[in-house]
Structure 1
């Protein structure tokens, strides 16, 4: 495709296009592509503009487009299409679990009614998104002239939707796009549900096996579906034609799942083959029952909700286990997109394994998918085992005045809290408060600060606290000690640090100790658990 600057000089610039399903995964990117082409966009969806604001900067539905809130199956389509030069119809019910009757009103009748309204209002070109899974299964690439065959009600509704267009229209030209499984940012349907599988498996296993083989298919990145619509729009070479939209790389279902696993940066174990056709044939009588899929669906969705709660996700993604989806793991469905390429279209991602990395990153950045970085996993473990403890200690010693060299006694009474502890091997951070007396400087000053235990990384304990002297001048006291992991309590017999004033100048040096024999039992008596 041309770049944005070239697109804005095209014949489409300044003209008005109606985009239906504008809040959906494909529709949002079609709107963005049309705006980049310099077009005026009338965006229609069943969501109000305020509910469609989360488009990650693709466009502002309140200012960038003419947003029309409409349930299209009951809308005034004549008013919706008036003044439009083009229509790109991306709205549909995408579901493998609905009956044909439930799908046909939107997926078939709406297409017919919207096209008729477009004809009546002089729309020049109507681009319709169909589906690339409607071909009869067979070896090799599926081309646009190959025989169609539905495996479920959704596919049948898409086949029937294509039949509403006349072979030789008197007014409004049409083009049909048949995208492969669409994936990418903002996508929630069909192929997007597969992205939930690796996190679900990882939730119960330390690593996921690498899967190879399986039925092969190619995919369609969502921006590539949108750019295909702009490529054919108002292009005489595309009138009354149908086009496949797909990348160049056919992958087995096993490679797809493994690619998603790697995009999450999860560890992949030993390779195992995807069940072959013979095994699927043997298993089908056992698993091809509604009750089996109902149970599996409930289990996966329950675990997915738990994952969302653990990571504070607000994800529209859902694991899908549909009986009507068995076709997609039994037979090849590889689309050839040469016809579209002849018009100048080119995919941004020619390989699913490249595009899925950006997709997972987007999902994670928008709290649609779990993260598996160390920080997040430690936080989850903290929350799972949100157990902490608190105790009191008394340090005594002396300090040396930096100016005079005089010494005076020091007493430090500390209340220490570690709010969350998961395992002893981890470094710890906590809060401290208490009372501090420094001879000649302050008596019973309130202190607040932090404690850091760095047994593994640095082999020490560090205290930082602030207090005001008798005249109200702020000071800081930093203490530290080295720790032998085999004898950690011995470290407390020698704690040292500096007192600094508000200018960070050292005003004195402190040496403290914890009298194990006299203080251990009193400290243990103050020990309490935090929940």
Structure 2
């Protein structure tokens, strides 16, 4: 592979992947991004112009997608509507992007015989009880609980069907919750960090008992690159770094790392249908492809993330006020 097409490459995990590819391979990258509120062209600053091409466009645009896929050796499909709260407010964009957009890319990959890797989420599996010792595996039945997770589940099933029915050279990865640089301030960890930076008390949904399995975005990127290069066609791989923490623990650790009392936060109205617990078993990826996370220590990864947001206030400030106004309107 020499030229990768990365959809959603100006978003959070997409931009981290682009930086990882540029830093660790000789591949060149074309980014296709619609630049919705969650996409930020500045997230790709610093990448040499001879290694990166940027196309402002929509993955549902058949003509644009076809031309770019025809020029690529592989497609890595990150572009997605991904915020649960937004899917509860207006599900339609999630259907357009996550279902129709994925279909459009798969058809282009089918026409041109292009290698395709599909980025998905552990949320397609629903949730686990807090006291359940089980973790999600590649054979866990899908049980999505929101418009976001159900449209991602649908997109996964499209990929599997196009592999079986049409021989598309595709793989899928389902990842646990990401954190790290370039994440929009509507998301849980950057929202709390940027609140503390601004002298605002962090906000915790409900009792804060909901558990997420956290992975640094750089570890997600290295796993995706490993799957793209060595994964078996038609296979699904779960990506996780054994980072289970409940939301209360995460908020308290952010406060401690930022020199604040661990209880200096406010409880707010819980999210509707808030999943209890996610947990990833990534043993297949580790055993078959030899992947290991770099940030096996969540606290170290969180400290590095805090420092990034402190050092890059100009990147996140433009979105902060509107984000907090939206949450305030919902009592959150």
TM range (shorter): 0.7 to 0.9
Matched, 1:175 2:171: yes
Deviation at 1:121, TM superposition (A): 1.0
Matched, 1:90 2:35: no
Deviation at 1:128, TM superposition (A): 0.8
In the alignment, the residues of structure 2 paired with residue 204 and residue 193 of structure 1 have an alpha-carbon distance, to the nearest angstrom, of 13
The structure with the largest alpha-carbon Rg is 1
In the alignment, the residues of structure 1 paired with residue 142 and residue 150 of structure 2 have an alpha-carbon distance, to the nearest angstrom, of 9
Task: Give the count of matched residue pairs.
Answer: 299
Deviation at 1:54, TM superposition (A): 4.6
Deviation at 1:112, TM superposition (A): 1.0
Deviation at 1:145, TM superposition (A): 0.9
Deviation at 1:359, TM superposition (A): 0.7
Q: Is the partner of 1:164 in helix, strand or coil?
A: helix
Asked whether the equivalents of residues 194 and 257 of structure 1 are also in contact (C-alpha less than 8 Å), the reply is: no
TM-score of the superposition, structure 2-length normalised? 0.80
Deviation at 1:41, TM superposition (A): 1.5
Q: In structure 2, which of residues 62, 69, 73 is the aligned counterpart of residue 81 of structure 1?
A: 69
Q: In structure 2, which of residues 1, 5, 10 is the aligned counterpart of residue 23 of structure 1?
A: 10
TM-score of the superposition, structure 1-length normalised? 0.51
Residues 80 and 354 of structure 1: CA distance in aligned 2, closer, same or farther (over 3 Å): same
Q: Residue in 2 aligned with 1:38?
A: 26
Asked whether the equivalents of residues 218 and 352 of structure 1 are also in contact (C-alpha less than 8 Å), the reply is: no
Deviation at 1:182, TM superposition (A): 1.1
Asked whether the equivalents of residues 197 and 310 of structure 2 are also in contact (C-alpha less than 8 Å), the reply is: no
Deviation at 1:56, TM superposition (A): 5.1
> 5 Å matches for 1:353-502?
353-367=299-313
Unaligned runs of 5+ in 2: 318-332
Q: In structure 2, which of residues 116, 119, 137 is the aligned counterpart of residue 129 of structure 1?
A: 119
Asked whether the equivalents of residues 73 and 105 of structure 1 are also in contact (C-alpha less than 8 Å), the reply is: yes
Deviation at 1:369, TM superposition (A): 7.1
In the alignment, the residues of structure 1 paired with residue 7 and residue 158 of structure 2 have an alpha-carbon distance, to the nearest angstrom, of 17
Query: Looking at both structures, which has the greater relative contact order when contacts are Cα pairs under 8 Å and sequence separation is at least 6?
Result: 2
Residues 100 and 80 of structure 1: CA distance in aligned 2, closer, same or farther (over 3 Å): same
Deviation at 1:214, TM superposition (A): 2.2
Q: Residue in 1 aligned with 2:225?
A: 230
Q: Residue in 1 aligned with 2:107?
A: 116
Unaligned runs of 5+ in 1: 1-11, 276-295, 297-320, 371-531
In the alignment, the residues of structure 2 paired with residue 75 and residue 119 of structure 1 have an alpha-carbon distance, to the nearest angstrom, of 13
Deviation at 1:249, TM superposition (A): 2.9
In the alignment, the residues of structure 1 paired with residue 194 and residue 18 of structure 2 have an alpha-carbon distance, to the nearest angstrom, of 30
Indicate the larger mover: 261-270 or 99-108: 261-270
In the alignment, the residues of structure 1 paired with residue 197 and residue 145 of structure 2 have an alpha-carbon distance, to the nearest angstrom, of 27
The structure with more strand, counted as a fraction of residues: 1
Q: In structure 2, which of residues 32, 41, 60 is the aligned counterpart of residue 52 of structure 1?
A: 41
The structure with more helix, counted as a fraction of residues: 2
> 5 Å matches for 1:147-296?
147-165=141-159, 166=161, 167-168=163-164, 170-188=166-184, 190-196=187-193, 199=196, 203=200, 214-235=209-230, 237-269=231-263
Asked whether the equivalents of residues 16 and 218 of structure 2 are also in contact (C-alpha less than 8 Å), the reply is: yes
In the alignment, the residues of structure 1 paired with residue 216 and residue 174 of structure 2 have an alpha-carbon distance, to the nearest angstrom, of 13
In the alignment, the residues of structure 2 paired with residue 322 and residue 160 of structure 1 have an alpha-carbon distance, to the nearest angstrom, of 26
CA RMSD of aligned residues (A): 3.2
